[in-house]
């Protein structure tokens, strides 16, 4: 399980779901919008904190590593602490929001069992969101692997050069350079000219090739060394484009 989400939309959607549920269950029962607002505002960090701690700490560190005793123990501790915090919120509401008038507390808000049930229901909703995100990401990963496999099944690049089809083995390519209206493929033995677009080739090439600039695609296996700004490949030094620096660094440091 990932320790964090790569897509903030899931987090935003989950927070909105939590706010909506708390408002529907507890907000309308108060008869006092201001008091309800403060009560829900105090519950919100408890619900979110419990959910994120369970899904991003306990599950990946203990459950997925089959440390079931620790997972169960820490889950129990988490439940005790979270319910205790909810009781403190209820006590604060009793003292400061309704001035010791218990009858003014919303009937749903004064039900500690309901508070605990809603809390852990939302925790499991968070688990559902997390599972759905991971399934989607796994599917995308499998799709990318299948595409990469298909590319590697054909161990050469096929292009039109001098009005005829030319097959260039991937291992022979050092780097590809885009010029004004054509591209130049630098191989171990020769330079091959083609009218193909570099963006088209980028989609066809397998993962052993890396776009480092608007004008350059390099064979990662041929790279001698690299810095933040440059890549040394063969006897040539190529600049890394500003918009490519982050992706190039991440790819080459793996």
172 and 87 together in one domain: no
172 and 95 together in one domain: no
The string of pLDDT tens digits covering residues 96-140 is 665 645 455 555 555 667 778 888 888 887 777 777 777 777 777
46 and 145 together in one domain: yes
**pLDDT score for 230:** 93
Nearest alpha-carbon partner for 5 in 71, 56, 54: 56
237 and 191 together in one domain: yes
- Quote the domain boundaries for residue 211: 156-252
The string of pLDDT tens digits covering residues 61-96 is 998 888 999 999 998 998 899 888 888 887 777 776
32 and 126 together in one domain: yes
66 and 185 together in one domain: no
86 and 164 together in one domain: no
What mean pLDDT is predicted for residues 198-217?
91
Assess if residue 2 is contained within a domain: no
Share of the chain above pLDDT 90, in %: 26
Nearest alpha-carbon partner for 200 in 165, 249, 158, 152: 158
Query: What CATH number is given to the structural domain containing 202?
Result: 2.40.50.1020
Assess if residue 1 is contained within a domain: no
Pairwise CA distance, residues 141 & 125, whole Å: 24
184 and 247 together in one domain: yes
Assess if residue 95 is contained within a domain: yes
48 and 140 together in one domain: yes
Q: How many domains does the chain have?
A: 2
Assess if residue 3 is contained within a domain: no
Average pLDDT, the chain: 82
Assess if residue 171 is contained within a domain: yes
Pairwise CA distance, residues 72 & 83, whole Å: 16
162: Cα separation from own chain's centroid: 45
**pLDDT score for 3:** 44
What mean pLDDT is predicted for residues 150-179?
85
Last residue in a domain, options 119, 151, 183: 151
Neighbour tally for 132: CB within 10 Å? 11
Last residue in a domain, options 97, 130, 151: 151
167 and 223 together in one domain: yes
Assess if residue 60 is contained within a domain: yes
Q: DSSP for 95-148? A: IIISTT-GGGS-TTTT-HHHHHHHHHHHHHHHHHHHHHHHHHHHHHHHHHHHHH
Assess if residue 194 is contained within a domain: yes
Within 8 A by CB and 6+ apart from 252, the residues are 210, 220, 223, 226
**pLDDT score for 31:** 65
pLDDT band at 2; cut points 50, 70, 90: very low
pLDDT of 219 above 50: yes
**pLDDT score for 150:** 66
247 and 197 together in one domain: yes
DSSP β-bridge partners for residue 157: 168
Helix (H, G, I), strand (E, B) or coil at 220: helix
pLDDT band at 28; cut points 50, 70, 90: low
138 and 162 together in one domain: no
Pairwise CA distance, residues 220 & 12, whole Å: 38
Last residue in a domain, options 89, 121, 151: 151
Nearest alpha-carbon partner for 242 in 215, 207, 205, 202: 215
Assess if residue 197 is contained within a domain: yes
Pairwise CA distance, residues 100 & 91, whole Å: 9
């Amino acid at each position: 399980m990932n320790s964090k989400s790569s897509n903030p939309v899931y987090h935003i959607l989950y927070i909105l779901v939590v706010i909506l549920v708390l408002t529907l269950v507890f907000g309308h029962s108060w008869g006092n919008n201001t008091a309800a607002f403060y009560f829900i505002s105090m519950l919100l960090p408890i619900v979110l904190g419990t959910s994120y701690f369970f899904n991003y700490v306990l599950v990946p560190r203990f459950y997925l590593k089959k440390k079931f005793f620790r997972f169960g123990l820490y889950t129990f501790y988490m439940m005790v602490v979270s319910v205790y915090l909810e009781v403190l919120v209820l006590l604060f509401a009793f003292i400061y929001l309704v001035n010791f008038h218990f009858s003014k507390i919303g009937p749903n808000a004064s039900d500690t069992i309901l508070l605990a049930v809603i809390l852990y229901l939302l925790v499991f909703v968070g688990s559902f969101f997390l599972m759905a995100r991971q399934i989607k990401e796994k599917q995308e990963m499998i799709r990318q692997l299948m595409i990469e496999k298909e590319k590697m099944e054909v161990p050469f690049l096929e292009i039109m050069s001098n009005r005829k089809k030319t097959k260039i083995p991937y291992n022979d390519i050092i780097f590809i350079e885009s010029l004004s209206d054509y591209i130049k493929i630098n191989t171990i033995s020769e330079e091959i000219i083609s009218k193909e677009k570099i963006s088209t080739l980028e989609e066809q090439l397998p993962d052993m090739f890396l776009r480092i600039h608007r004008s350059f695609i390099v064979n990662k296996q041929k790279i001698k060394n690299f810095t933040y700004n440059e890549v040394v490949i063969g006897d040539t030094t190529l600049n890394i484009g500003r918009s490519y620096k982050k992706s190039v660094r991440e790819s080459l440091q793996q």
